Chain A
Amino acid sequence: MLPITHTLYLASGLFLLGLATVLLRRAPGRVLLGAVLMLAAPGLLLASFARAWGHTGGQVLAALLLVLVAVYAAVGAALLRARREHE
Chain B
Amino acid sequence: MHELRPDVEAAAGVIASVIFAAYALVALAGGFAVLLARRPETALRGLFVSLLAGTCAYVQMMAPGVAAVQLVALAGAAIAALRVVKDEGAGEKAWQGRGLLAIGALGLVALALVLVGTWARQYVWTGRELPPGSSFGSVAALGLAWSEAHAPALLAALLALLLVAIVTTAEREHRL
CB of B69 within 8 A of CB of A67, answer yes
Which one, A3, A13, A74, A82, contacts B125 given CB within 8 A? A3
Given the known interface contacts A54-B136, A63-B157, the answer about A47 and B66 at a Cβ–Cβ threshold of 8 Å is yes
CB of B126 within 8 A of CB of A3, answer yes
CB of A66 within 8 A of CB of B74, answer yes
Task: Give residues in B with beta carbon < 8 Å to A.
Answer: 13, 16-17, 20-21, 23-24, 27-28, 31-32, 34-35, 40, 43-44, 47, 50-51, 54, 57-58, 60-63, 65-66, 69-70, 73-74, 76-78, 80-81, 83-85, 87-88, 92, 94-96, 98, 101-102, 105-106, 108-109, 112-113, 116-117, 120-121, 123-128, 130, 136-137, 141-142, 145-146, 149-150, 153, 156-157, 160-161, 163-164, 167-168, 175-176
Which one, A29, A51, A70, contacts B40 given CB within 8 A? A29
The CA-CA distance from A22 to B137 in the complex, in Å, is: 32
B contact patch SS: helix
CB of B95 within 8 A of CB of A24, answer yes
A-B pairs under 8 A by CB, number: 259
**Closest B residue by C-beta to A62:** B66
CB of A56 within 8 A of CB of B142, answer yes
A contact patch SS: helix
Task: Give residues in A with beta carbon < 8 Å to B.
Answer: 1-10, 12-14, 16-18, 20-21, 23-30, 32-34, 36-37, 40, 43-44, 47-48, 50-54, 56-57, 59-64, 66-82, 84
Which one, B69, B88, B108, B136, contacts A63 given CB within 8 A? B69
The CA-CA distance from A63 to B66 in the complex, in Å, is: 5
Residue numbers in A under 8 Å from B125 (CB-CB): 3-4, 52
**10 A-B pairs, CB-CB below 8 angstroms?**
A1-B13, A6-B20, A10-B20, A14-B31, A20-B105, A40-B54, A63-B65, A63-B66, A66-B74, A67-B69
**Closest A residue by C-beta to B153:** A64
